[in-house]
Amino acid sequence: MLDFNHVPFVHPRTFRPLMAKGAANDPRVPADLPPVTTAALHELSYASETPLQIQPRPWHALVERFGDADVYYNHFLYPNVNFISVGGYVFLVQQFDPVSPDRTDVHFTLCAARATQRIPALPAILWGHLKGEKRVLDEDRVILEAMQRGLHEGGPVARHGA
């Protein structure tokens, strides 16, 4: 999310507590940037890494983790896909499919890092992660739908914490 107000204001209870101190963007609103009038297709996708406080879980020792950093990896793939990894332990693909002007279907695909041995609790572990992702999505949906209702040509730049 390019809006630095997103995490502190939209996810203060779900996502923000997991972020390392100082990792969230500065919540002050900067001067409006000039509008982007053109962009090459490859410029519309980007990746970010945010330090995250990942609590060790017993099952973490049973998988081949991607990398060795406690990081929230987020790859925004234009136009409608997010590929996310929480510390290299859990991977999520979010796909947003607009169906009509007032409806978007959201598809989640979730998996864990490759297991080095059988993990009997893996379905429950992934179910817990999926429920957490749904809570975050619900927070996003409420704020984004409210912002969208106020969008109009010539209107001010919308910021999540405004």
Instruction: Note down pLDDT in tens along the chain; length 162 residues.
Output: 456 566 767 777 777 777 766 555 544 444 555 555 677 777 888 888 888 899 999 999 999 999 999 998 999 898 889 999 999 999 999 998 888 877 888 999 999 999 999 999 999 999 999 999 999 888 888 877 777 777 778 777 666 555
Q: Is residue 29 part of a domain?
A: no
C-alpha neighbours within 13 Å on the C-beta side of residue 9: 17
What's the confidence (pLDDT) of residue 29? 43
Tokens standing for residue 13:
């209870």
Q: Give the residue numbers spanning the domain of 143.
A: 6-24+45-149
Cβ-based neighbour number of residue 75 at 10 Å: 15
What's the confidence (pLDDT) of residue 27? 44
Q: Is residue 139 part of a domain?
A: yes
Q: Is residue 33 part of a domain?
A: no
What's the confidence (pLDDT) of residue 58? 96
Q: Is residue 39 part of a domain?
A: no
Q: Is the backbone peptide bond immediately before 120 cis, with ω within 30 degrees of 0?
A: no
- In whole angstroms, give the CA distance from residue 133 to residue 94: 10
Q: Is residue 95 part of a domain?
A: yes
What's the confidence (pLDDT) of residue 32? 55
Instruction: Name the helix (H) or strand (E) containing 138.
Output: helix 122-149
What's the confidence (pLDDT) of residue 8? 67
- With beta carbons less than 8 A apart as the criterion, state whether 77 and 83 touch: yes
Cβ-based neighbour number of residue 45 at 10 Å: 12
Domain count, the chain: 1
- With beta carbons less than 8 A apart as the criterion, state whether 75 and 82 touch: yes
Q: Is residue 37 part of a domain?
A: no
Among 51, 49, 63, 53, smallest CA distance to 125 is for 63
Among 90, 1, 8, 16, smallest CA distance to 53 is for 16
Q: Is residue 78 part of a domain?
A: yes
Q: Is residue 113 part of a domain?
A: yes
- In whole angstroms, give the CA distance from residue 15 to residue 28: 19
